[in-house]
Structure formats: C-alpha cells, structure tokens
A and B are shown apart, each in its own frame.
Chain A
Amino acid sequence: MKLSKEQVRHVATLARLELKDEEEERFSGQLSAILDYINQLEELDTDGIQPTSRALDVNNVFREDEVKARFDEGSWRSNAPSEEMDHFRVPKIIEG
C-alpha cells in the first residue's frame, strides 16, 4: 500500500511535525515500505485472541497522594526555554 503525500502531511499535522518537501517525499516511500512489511500480520487469524497491552499483569496500583520534596525549589526554571513570573512563557495562543 502506498501512503500519499497528502496522507503524510495529515499525519505530520496530527504529530505536530512540520516536514520539508523532500521529507514528505522520502517518508511517503519509506513508511509505505514499512507498512507493507507490517501488513504480513494479516496472515494471522486473531479472532478471539485477547490483546496484550502490558507484559506484567498489574492493575490499578494505588498509593497515598502525598507531597514529597523530590525536586529543588525552582529547579524547573533552569530548563524552561522561556519563563516569566513563575510561569512558562509561550507565544500568542489565540491567533488572528
């Protein structure tokens, strides 16, 4: 199956990636080849098989919701690309 450039562009938007023209072209070819390879899973009859989402059968692990001082005060700030008055700063959210 062939993934069109339009489909590649749509998926890129879903994934919040801006692709260059040549990347769209390359990904369309490479992803199509990978999907063709993946499609061999269709040979298998999986009716009635339960899906496995995790390797260990653990469910609903609860613990007390306690505040613990794991990080140094304000340590988030040194990694923030932009911050102001104890908040992360981002470009204008409402466009137009």
Chain B
Amino acid sequence: MTQPCFMTMGELSAKLEAGEVTSEEAVLSYIERINSVDEKINAYVTVDREGAIEQARDADRLRASGSKGPLLGAPLAIKDLVTTRNLRTTCGSKILENFIPPHDAFVIEKLKQAGAVVLGKTNMDEFAMGSSTETSYFGPTRNPWDTDKIPGGSSGGSAAAVAADLCAAALGSDTGGSIRQPSALCGIVGLKPTYGLVSRFGLVAFASSLDQIGPMTKDVTDSAILLSAIAGHDPNDSTSADRPVDDYTAALDKGVSGMNIGVAEEYFTEGIDPEVDSSVRNAISVLKEQGANIKTVSLPHTKYAVPTYYVIAPAEASSNLARYDGVKYGYRSESPKGLMEMYKKTRMEGFGPEVKRRIMLGAYALSAGYYDAYYLKAQKVRTLIRNDFVDVFKEVSAIISPTTPAPAFGIGEKSDDPLQMYLSDIFTISCNLAGIPGLSLPCGFTSGGLPIGAQIQGDFFSEPTVLRVARALEKGLKLDGGKPAINQDG
C-alpha cells in the first residue's frame, strides 16, 4: 500500500473507513515526512507532533465506536493566521511570535467537530501581505518543484505542504489571490469561496471586506469535501451569509456539456508567459471537447483591479493592524519611555518592511485631504469591477483564465520592487473585490517542469458550478506531471 502521506484526502478517508490504516498511522507517516523534508521547504512554522498524535488517537477511538465522516482522522495543515486554541498562531510576524490564542476560529471548531487532526501551522507572508512567502519573520518557504523558486503567497506554506505531501489538505486565506496564486505555482487546487460563505471569526484580519478562508488540496474532490466542512453561517461574523450550506460534492461529476463558459480577453494580455498562455488555451479546448460552449466575454475594468486593491486593502489593513500596540498581547519594545514611544517602537521593531509599507500606504490614503481622491475613488471603481462580473454572469456560468501571468519566479527576484510583486496577482484580485468565488487548478507544466494554474471564477455562491467545471477539467486533462522534485529523494 502507498504510504498514507502520499494519498489524497479522499483516498486516505476511504482507507480509514475500510480499516486498512488508522489515523495515528497516517499522522505518524506525515510527521516522519515532515521531519525528513521540511528543513528544505520550511512549509511549517509550528508542527504540533504530540497534539496531532493525541487527536488521531481520539479519531481512531471515535471510529471504533461507530463514528464516520470524510474528515474523521484526516491530518490537516492550517495557515498560521487562523487561530487555534492553545497552539501558537504567529501570522508570520515577530509581533505575534509567542501568541497563544485562547480560542479556536469558527473553521477550526468545525474541523474538530468533524474529527480532523491539526498537524500544525503553515508559513505565510507576514500578515498575509505578499505574493511569495518571503516576508515571513520565520524565513521564506521554498517551492517543492524547485527549491530555488518561491511557492507563491501569501499562503505559500499551505501550498508547499500540500504539494510536498506534508499534510492531507490545508486551509489558506485569500485577500487578493493568496490561496489561488500559490496553488497555481505549487500545482495544487485552491479555492477562494464567495465572500461570506466561510466565517472569518478567528481569521486574523488583514482587509476585512476581502478576506476569505478556503481549502487548499491535492485534487478537486478534496476541495469540495473540505469546503462542505468549513462553510456555514456564524453569528460571530456579522458578514457571514445566513443561507443553507450546499453539499459541494453532489454535483462534482455532472460535467460541462451545454454549459456556457466565458473567456475574457483581458486575461490574455501582453506580457503573459507564452507557456502559461498555451497551457490555459489547451484547457479551454478540453472544456470545449466536453461539450461546453466557449464564449468570448469582456471584463473591461480588469486593469484597474490592482490599483483599486492597493488602496482598499492597505486602508483596511492600517486600521486592522492598529491593534498591535504592545498593550494586550504580542511583542512589546523593551523599556520604552512613555506610552507614545512604546507604540512607535513596538510597531517599528515588531513589523517587517512590507507590513509597514502597507500600513503607511493605507494611513496615507485615509488621511485628511486624501480620502476622497483615493479611498472613495477606489470604492467606486470597485463597483465598476463588480458590475463587470454581474453582467458577464448573465451570459455564462463560469469564466476560465490563467491564475497567474507567469510560473514561479526565483527567490529574491522581486523582493526589492514592491510594484512588480503586486502585479503577480493581476488575474486574481478582481475576484476578491467583487466577492465572487475563484478556484485555481493545475492545467500543465512549463518546459522547465514548473506547474501552471488555470482559474475558474463563478457567480456569487456558485461554488457547486465552479467545482464541477474544475472537476471536468481535471478529468479531461489527465495531467501526469509526476510529483515535485522534493518528493523523489524523500
């Protein structure tokens, strides 16, 4: 039998159900693999070895007494900005280096109720601000397909952990592409749900009107399973959608025959990597072969998404991150003289450069005399971007595009040029501004063997459709790019 760590979550679940493997054996298989491989990847900030074994034994006991479920005993990795009770949650920042949350996030409560095992917490760009996982206080994460390359970000630790078989599946968070972009660059499936579908209670806030938690998995079926477990209304999040949760696995295999699927020319811009372009066009032809009607659509305000985002997200961040003041929790500067000096020194020493840059940008955009020119203007353009999607979804059920304009770039390549870094999210950001769901799945490889991702976006709360298109594509493409390089010597 394949070692449990190399299985998809669905495969592992079937083996657990059949009694062919125990959750404890699965957890031990992951721990062994983390011990041998993660020093090369740095996917985890914290591995809860003892806690995970204990949770696995609980899951095995529950199963012995008749409990069932697709997540019972499944070892998962959690991005380190989702609070886990009594397990350190750092947000990749020095300012929260020793923060031990007194509570579980809503999604963690749901996962624990389903019997899932939390293996550990994954690395990320500091406070989720970045596209490469290089801004983490705990050092960069490396791409399992090529350790000289970035894994994407900000959920780069979760993406690398899934790609390198260091967990069965993971949770990430996505504010402007932070689930989808690293999923594309690491060759896994990542879904940003509709805003409000998954509670943000216990998700450390970056930009509250954009942030969503979502699944990062080895295949589309696992994505549907994990989403079914974490979706749902939560009174503790006032932006949580009060509507029934769909069974996201139900319609997975219904195919795309007769479905209208849009291709927006704005996503095939100049400057897109030719191998990404041809790989996504191949994916489009696969959907066509399966009976989808491919329609050309237009999202004319796409080019304004990045500038709009870099007003709105930093503005919300500058307000959200005001709480890190050295008073109630987190790092405090040594022996400051007076309160003002304590605030300023704590924040100077506790935050890294990218976080400071975004706080500054946000504070500037909200400051007296600039609010109308920047913040209000960006909110109005956000309406235009949203309306583009509303119009297009009158004609088509989903939109297919590249997830990123290029495959993974080298570590250090864009660190000194923030604007170039921001542009790597050019195809993922408008989805957050509109609030719609978006999924990235592998659609090919470059000649150098790096993964390429295709993005499927859908209308509000149309996750069943988005997953169905993704599943059809996954089946039609029959990708066989093998496993990442890191898996071959492990």
Q: Which of B103, B344, B376, B418 contacts A34 (CB 8 A)?
A: B418
Q: 1/0 per residue A46-62: CB within 8 Å of B?
A: 10011111111010010
Knowing A15-B359, A31-B360, A79-B329 are in contact, say whether A49-B384 is a contact too (CB < 8 A): yes
Sort A-B residue pairs by CB-CB distance and give the 6 closest, nearest first: A55-B435, A51-B379, A75-B102, A81-B332, A55-B195, A79-B329
Q: 1/0 per residue B417-448: CB within 8 Å of A?
A: 01100100000000011110000000000000
Q: A33-B419, A54-B195 are in contact. List 9 more A-B contacts (CB 8 A).
A: A14-B367, A17-B351, A27-B356, A41-B307, A44-B304, A55-B434, A56-B241, A78-B100, A91-B339
Judge whether B363 is part of the interface by a CB distance below 8 angstroms.
yes
Knowing A8-B360, A49-B384, A52-B386 are in contact, say whether A16-B241 is a contact too (CB < 8 A): no
A95 in contact with B196 (CB, 8 Å): no
Knowing A30-B418, A34-B419 are in contact, say whether A17-B339 is a contact too (CB < 8 A): no
B307 in contact with A38 (CB, 8 Å): yes
A55 in contact with B363 (CB, 8 Å): no
Judge whether A72 is part of the interface by a CB distance below 8 angstroms.
yes
Q: How far, in angstroms, from A78 to B128 measured CA to CA in the complex?
A: 25
Between A19, A34, A70, the greatest number of chain B beta carbons within 10 A of the residue's beta carbon is seen for A34
Knowing A50-B383, A81-B330 are in contact, say whether A92-B338 is a contact too (CB < 8 A): yes
> Can you spell out 25 A-B residue pairs with CB atoms less than 8 angstroms apart?
A11-B363, A11-B364, A16-B340, A17-B356, A19-B348, A23-B356, A27-B357, A37-B310, A38-B374, A39-B307, A41-B308, A46-B377, A46-B380, A50-B380, A54-B239, A56-B241, A56-B435, A58-B238, A58-B241, A61-B239, A71-B102, A79-B98, A81-B329, A91-B341, A93-B339
Judge whether A21 is part of the interface by a CB distance below 8 angstroms.
no
Q: How far, in angstroms, from A18 to B344 measured CA to CA in the complex?
A: 5
Knowing A11-B360, A52-B379, A52-B386 are in contact, say whether A63-B196 is a contact too (CB < 8 A): no
Least CB separation from A38: chain B residue: B307
B384 in contact with A90 (CB, 8 Å): no
A53 in contact with B304 (CB, 8 Å): no
**Chain B nearest Cβ from A91, distance in angstroms:** 5
**Chain B nearest Cβ from A36, distance in angstroms:** 9
**Chain A nearest Cβ from B325, distance in angstroms:** 7
CB proximity to A under 8 Å, residues B328-361: 328-332, 336-345, 347-348, 351, 353, 356-357, 359-361
Between A31, A53, A70, the greatest number of chain B beta carbons within 10 A of the residue's beta carbon is seen for A53
Task: Assign chain B's interface to a size class.
Answer: 35 or more
Q: How far, in angstroms, from A92 to B195 measured CA to CA in the complex?
A: 43
Q: How far, in angstroms, from A11 to B210 measured CA to CA in the complex?
A: 24
Least CB separation from B210: chain A residue: A55
Q: 1/0 per residue B304-340: CB within 8 Å of A?
A: 1011101100000010001001111111100011111
Q: 1/0 per residue B385-424: CB within 8 Å of A?
A: 0100000000000000000000000000000001100100
Interface residues of B (CB under 8 A from A): 98-100, 102-103, 195-196, 209-210, 235, 238-239, 241, 301, 304, 306-308, 310-311, 318, 322, 325-332, 336-345, 347-348, 351, 353, 356-357, 359-364, 367, 374, 376-384, 386, 418-419, 422, 432-435
A56 in contact with B360 (CB, 8 Å): no
Knowing A51-B376, A61-B238 are in contact, say whether A88-B328 is a contact too (CB < 8 A): yes
User: Which A residues are CB-close (under 8 A) to B380?
Assistant: 46, 49-52
Knowing A17-B360, A71-B103 are in contact, say whether A91-B342 is a contact too (CB < 8 A): yes
User: Which A residues are CB-close (under 8 A) to B238?
Assistant: 58, 61
**Chain A nearest Cβ from B70, distance in angstroms:** 28
B327 in contact with A81 (CB, 8 Å): yes
**Chain A nearest Cβ from B405, distance in angstroms:** 16
**Chain B nearest Cβ from A89, distance in angstroms:** 9
B348 in contact with A18 (CB, 8 Å): yes
User: Which A residues are CB-close (under 8 A) to B100?
Assistant: 78-79
**Chain A nearest Cβ from B249, distance in angstroms:** 25
Least CB separation from B209: chain A residue: A54
Knowing A30-B418, A37-B419, A52-B383 are in contact, say whether A15-B330 is a contact too (CB < 8 A): no
**Chain A nearest Cβ from B339, distance in angstroms:** 5
User: Which A residues are CB-close (under 8 A) to B330?
Assistant: 79, 81
A49 in contact with B344 (CB, 8 Å): no
A56 in contact with B345 (CB, 8 Å): no
**Chain A nearest Cβ from B307, distance in angstroms:** 5
Q: How far, in angstroms, from A12 to B359 measured CA to CA in the complex?
A: 9
User: Which B residues are CB-close (under 8 A) to A91?
Assistant: 336-339, 341-342
Knowing A17-B344, A37-B419, A38-B374 are in contact, say whether A53-B209 is a contact too (CB < 8 A): yes
User: Which B residues are CB-close (under 8 A) to A31?
Assistant: 357, 360-361, 364
A90 in contact with B379 (CB, 8 Å): no
**Chain A nearest Cβ from B356, distance in angstroms:** 6
